[in-house]
Amino acid sequence: AQSVTQLDSQVPVFEEAPVELRCNYSSSVSVYLFWYVQYPNQGLQLLLKYLSGSTLVESINGFEAEFNKSQTSFHLRKPSVHISDTAEYFCAVIRNSGNTPLVFGKGTRLSVIA
Amino acid sequence: DVKVTQSSRYLVKRTGEKVFLECVQDMDHENMFWYRQDPGLGLRLIYFSYDVKMKEKGDIPEGYSVSREKKERFSLILESASTNQTSMYLCASSRPVLAGVSDTQYFGPGTRLTVL
């Protein structure tokens, strides 16, 4: 079975400062990795995903995440955050075969302070 | 534009009532999922379905049942609502995960259910 640990439940950060949201996973099989974002009063939407190839993946709004197989991590980073990045962020994993459901972490609430 | 819709954004029910939450997707996805979201607990899978009339229990199926009579519709049923089922309920859909290929899981806007 897979599991996901998001090490920080809340991360406050000042506007234009860098941020890192940490995600570690556990799995005995190969997985795909995802970050989802949930803005206030909305459903979840995909931010970025790692399936294969380059271990560094980027989103269209400046976030990036790096897959580190040896450390079983998939941390999310942004060099300079905006007020509009305030949201809850979920890390998730799924087996790369067998059609099993996504397994989510408990989420990290990012609060960007002006 | 891909879409997952849920029948209500907000719902208030009384203890003991039978509650139906409806989810419809327009992407011809085989997989559909129901989660509940609670502060500090993240998303927990209740039930999922890989095909019409098929269902699998997730992590917390107790007190819930599901129905999938058509490919595009997946219903979550609370047979006798209780106060501990007050939560945000999220529906999602996706294509099957195949070796080397994984499609995005698309979510609806959620239904905030309050059981009094």
Helix (H, G, I), strand (E, B) or coil at B82: coil
Interface test with A, best of B4, B33, B97 (most A CBs within 10 A): B97
Any B CB within 8 A of A30 CB? no
Residues of B in contact with A99 (CB under 8 A): 31, 50, 96-98
pLDDT of residue B105: 87
Residues of B in contact with A6 (CB under 8 A): 42
pLDDT level of residue A96 (50, 70, 90 thresholds) = confident
Specify the pairing of strand A10-14 against strand A108-113. parallel
Any A CB within 8 A of B41 CB? yes
How many Cβ pairs within 8 Å bridge chains A and B? 61
pLDDT of residue B102: 63
Residue type, B19: V
pLDDT of residue A11: 97
* The pair of three-digit structure tokens given for residue B38, joined into one six-digit string: 């609670």
Find the Cα–Cα–Cα–Cα dihedral B56, B69, B6, B85, rounded to 10°. Answer: -50
CA A23 to chain centre: 7
Find the Cα–Cα–Cα–Cα dihedral B85, B87, B88, B91, rounded to 10°. Answer: -20
Residue of B nearest to A35 (CA): B104
Which residues 6+ apart lie within 8 Å of B10 measured at CB? Answer: B111, B112, B114
Query: For residue B66, with 0-12 CB atoms within 10 Å meaning exposed, 13-18 middle and 19 or more buried, which class applies?
Result: buried
CB contact under 8 A, B43 and A104: yes
CA A3 to chain centre: 14
Q: What distance in Å separates the CA atoms of residue B20 and residue B65, rounded to the nearest whole number? A: 10
Which residues 6+ apart lie within 8 Å of A108 measured at CB? Answer: A6, A8, A9, A10, A11, A21, A22, A88, A89, A90
What percent of chain A clears pLDDT 70, i.e. is strictly above it? Answer: 99
Q: Which of A73, A84, A40, A78 shows the shortest CA–CA distance to A59?
A: A78
Any B CB within 8 A of A3 CB? no
Distance of CA B64 to CAs A78, A87, B21, Å? Answer: 39, 29, 11
pLDDT of residue A63: 96
Q: What distance in Å separates the CA atoms of residue B104 and residue B36, rounded to the nearest whole number? A: 19
Distance of CA B82 to CAs A11, B85, B86, B109, B113, Å? Answer: 33, 6, 8, 23, 11
Any A CB within 8 A of B10 CB? no
What percent of chain A clears pLDDT 90, i.e. is strictly above it? Answer: 65
- The pLDDT profile of chain B, 116 residues, written as one tens digit per residue, is 668 999 899 999 999 999 999 999 998 999 999 999 998 888 999 999 999 989 999 999 999 999 999 999 999 999 999 999 999 999 999 888 765 566 678 999 999 999 99
On whether the CB atoms of residues B9 and B109 are closer than 8 A, the answer is yes
On whether the CB atoms of residues A104 and A93 are closer than 8 A, the answer is no
Residue A20 has pLDDT above 90, yes or no: yes
CB contact under 8 A, A90 and B42: yes
